[in-house]
Amino acid sequence: MKNSILIFTLFCMLSACKRDYDKSKLGPEVIVVPESFTVNGFSANPSTFVNLSLEDPYFTCTMPQRAEFKIVVTGLLSGAQKSISGTGDFIGAENSTWTGDSDNNYMFRTGEECSVELSFHGATKKYYDTLTITGENVYPKTTLIQSFEGITFDKNGPNAATYGNYFDAPDLSKTDIKTDKLLKTCQGTQSVSFDGVDVNSGYYIGGMYFYPSSGYYTFSGYEPDSVYLNAFVYSYGDNSAVLNFSFSEDDNGDGVSNSTSEDEWTSGDVPVNGALGWSIISVSLKSFLDRNSSIGNGILNLNKITGFNMNMNAKVAGTRARLNVDYLTVTYGKPFNP
């Protein structure tokens, strides 16, 4: 009998226990509207022409009841896609503003027409509009190193120092580095293509330099672990290549970097996603290693970087390697996310 009373008391105590949750439901709000649900006046605002570097468009629509909506913007040239989801009694600037970014590895282009599709959870009827991009998005906390737009690289031709030039390769006759318009790019219409054979089984095939338009690249104000070097990389599905990056410093401030007396920092081999298509690689500058610790001041000076170097290496010695690179950036606080 005593046991029964004890257990009954325990049961009552447990039943009375309240869980201390800071929410009334699990997950985001979900509403499934009936199939007959219809809306009016779906449109892009403030106009169907938008310069993403200057303004953030939004969408409007009046609804007969609270509903869960999804707007999908698709670039008809680039293939870039942005999805905006929300729940509300209406669609307006409060719940549908688009900052110009994209969800996949393609970026919306200047002059591109986009389709806009609106759907509601539970209803099969969809609503459509169009939007024309008159200016590309500018990403906050991002320094563009090279977009490869509007320039021409040719391994036999002269190259503007401000854009970079070709690094020597073991055998230039078997190495090709050039701007490429054939491939569908992640940004704009051009990327740079690397294609070569590691003729001396030393892994290295070829590379490029990038210089600031004047003086130094200055990434000061941030710690090295919050500064990232980013690049879009296209793999041909053969998983044949890796990239490595390095940068040089002007430790003594004489305006020139000298590899025999000043620091050079290298990322080592950065693995590339071997699956067919574009992906993003991001490397924290903190992970760069001093190429020769016996020279230079051994301190990573983010305000004295005179230039970057990007190399492609074969993944397997003595083999052919190829990939494309586009939209080389430095970001602050977090890796680049288009």
Partner 1 sequence: MEIKNYTNKQFNKVKSTRLFILGLMMVTGIVHAQFNKLIDYSGLFRMNGTYNRLGGEALDNDSLSERRSSNAYALFDFGINVSPYKELKVSTIIRSRSVIGASFSQQVGANIMQFRQIRIEGNLGKVIKYQLGDIDVSMTKYTLYNSNESYHDYESDAFVMRRNIVAYENFNIGNNWRMQGGQFESNLLFRKYLDRVKAKALLTRVKKSNLTNIPDRYVLGGSVTVVQSKYVQLGANYISVFDNVGTAVDTAYNYSNRLLTGEYKFTYEMDKLLFNLYGEMGPSYFKYFLKSQRKTEKFNDYFYDLGLSATYKPAKLKLYGGYRNVGPLFSSPTAQTLRLYPYSTPTEVSKIQNASTTRQASIYDRMTQEGLYNQSIYVGLMQYLPIYGNASPYGQATPNRTGLTVGLSHSDSASSLTLDAKVEMLSEVMGEGTNALREFKVYQGGLKLDLAKLASLKKRLGITFGMSNEQTTRSGPAPIDFKTNLIDVGLNYEFINRLEVLLGAKYLQGKGNELLAQRDLFNNITAFNDYIIDSKQTILTAGLRYRFFKDSYVSVQYNSFNNKDVISSNNNYQWSQIWGNLTIKF
Long-range own/partner contacts, residues 170-176 (CB < 8 A, 24 or more apart): 170/198, 170/199, 170/200, 170/202, 170/204, 170/205, 171/197, 171/199, 171/200, 172/206, 174/199, 175/205, 175/206
Q: Which is nearer to partner 1, 25 or 128 (CB)?
A: 25
Coil, strand or helix at 309: strand
**Residue 273 beta carbon to partner 1: minimum distance, rounded to whole angstroms:** 17
224: preceding bond cis by omega (within 30 degrees): no
**Residue 110 beta carbon to partner 1: minimum distance, rounded to whole angstroms:** 32
Greatest Cα-to-Cα distance within the chain, rounded to the nearest angstrom: 98
How many of the other CB atoms lie within 10 Å of CB of 298? 11
Q: Which is nearer to partner 1, 30 or 144 (CB)?
A: 30
Which residues of the shown chain bind partner 1 in the complex (CB under 8 A)?
Answer: 3-4, 7, 11, 14-15, 17, 19, 21, 24-32, 66, 85, 121
Q: Which is nearer to partner 1, 20 or 168 (CB)?
A: 20
Q: Which is nearer to partner 1, 68 or 180 (CB)?
A: 68
The structure tokens listed for 13 are 């105590």
**Residue 26 beta carbon to partner 1: minimum distance, rounded to whole angstroms:** 5
Q: How far apart are the first and last CA of the chain?
A: 69
Q: Which residue type does 99 have?
A: T
**Residue 67 beta carbon to partner 1: minimum distance, rounded to whole angstroms:** 9
Q: Which is nearer to partner 1, 28 or 158 (CB)?
A: 28
The residues near 9 (Cβ < 8 Å, ≥ 6 apart) are: none
Q: Which is nearer to partner 1, 23 or 128 (CB)?
A: 23
Identify the residue whose tokens are 């067919």.
276
The residues near 32 (Cβ < 8 Å, ≥ 6 apart) are: 68, 121, 122
**Residue 122 beta carbon to partner 1: minimum distance, rounded to whole angstroms:** 8
Q: Which is nearer to partner 1, 220 or 337 (CB)?
A: 337
**Residue 15 beta carbon to partner 1: minimum distance, rounded to whole angstroms:** 8
Phi, psi of 5 (to 5 degrees): -65, -40
**Residue 85 beta carbon to partner 1: minimum distance, rounded to whole angstroms:** 8
Nearest-angstrom CA–CA distance, 19 and 159: 67
